[in-house]
Amino acid sequence: MPIVHHSDYKPPVWMRNRHLLTIYPTLCRRVKRVQYTRARMTMPDGDFVDLDFSAVGSDLLVLVLHGLEGDAHRKYVKGMVQLFNQQGYDVAGMNFRGCSGEPNKALRFYHSGETADLDAVVQHVAASRKYKALYLVGFSLGGNVALKYTGEQGKNIHPLVHATVAISVPIDLANSAIELEKKHNAIYMQRFIRSLGAKLKAKQALYPDAINLEGYENITTFRQFDDRYTAPLHGFPDADTYWYQSSAIRVLDQVAIPTLLINAQDDSFLGPKCFPYEMAEHHPLFYLETPRYGGHVGFVNFGVSSYWTERRALDFIRSHP
């Protein structure tokens, strides 16, 4: 049964605090510069998605999906890119709409359940005929997108896609939203709301009649933000419907390729519904690993150039070529 009962991630004793594990990599991790080559893809609706490639001449490609308000230049993405490059894989960081340094063209931007753009990227990579295998690696929101896509596609997933790895994923968005409203997560919530507000302000310059930011300073939760902006901008009646339809947990049992979910037990972003032990016990291709420690997209290591999740993703993908 594909539950990994004995995860080997062990942080330094002095870092066994979920907030320290979460914050340390953002503030203190040093990652060497990655030389990206940008490729802009035009989506079917005329908008664009930017892919940042770090190629070493391989016929194997790892596609990395970042988290909420991230991009391909985040340290956790670059750490993954560097290790896979070192091991002979080409890597592409997919920047979600509006996350590559300039506002996207359309009124809508990106959200936790948007898989059509990912499918367009997969089809584009397949059409290039440069690669014999494609692997998906997603963090947090990007992990939900990767898992939801893998489950939605099921047995019809493109044969180029061989495996999926997802890290620190709120697979039940409503459950995660409840956790993030708790007092101990206030610092993260404030940061997300502030960053999303800046993105909306840039979008308002393009669509002044469609974006109303009056009273935005009173928004303090994802429920308020998603009810007012995410849901209506992307065709959902309200936050609850958006969360339900966009949560990967609904389709995880349909995955038909090797799929690994790594969620730390101390991740303060995740509620109990984000740990689908029963599903993993009965599914031959869905692997669940829940280290005791790790924080949210943390999993800090010292004394080695790569973090544990990067090496774990590499091992899993190598085991499922």
User: Where does the chain have alpha helices with state H?
Assistant: 18-28, 75-86, 116-128, 141-153, 173-180, 186-206, 222-225, 231-233, 239-246, 277-281, 308-319
Active site residue 267: yes
Please pick, among 112, 162, 267, 320, the residue that the annotation labels catalytic: 267
Judge contact between 85 and 61, C-beta under 8 A. Answer: no
Superfamily of domain 3-173+248-319 in CATH is: Alpha/Beta hydrolase fold, catalytic domain (3.40.50.1820)
The tens place of each residue's pLDDT in the chain, 321 residues long, gives: 587 778 899 998 999 999 999 999 999 999 988 999 999 999 999 999 999 999 999 999 999 999 999 999 999 999 999 999 999 999 999 999 999 999 999 999 999 999 999 999 999 999 999 999 999 999 999 999 999 999 999 999 999 999 999 999 999 999 999 999 999 999 999 999 999 999 999 999 999 999 999 999 999 999 999 999 999 999 999 999 999 999 999 999 999 999 999 999 999 999 999 999 999 999 999 999 999 999 999 999 998 889 999 999 999 999 998
Please pick, among 54, 140, 168, 247, the residue that the annotation labels catalytic: 140
How would you write 16-41 as a 3-class SS string? Answer: CCHHHHHHHHHHHCCCCCCCCEEEEE
Active site residue 100: no
User: Given CA atoms 149, 278, 141, 320 in this order, what sign does their dihedral have?
Assistant: negative
Active site residue 50: no
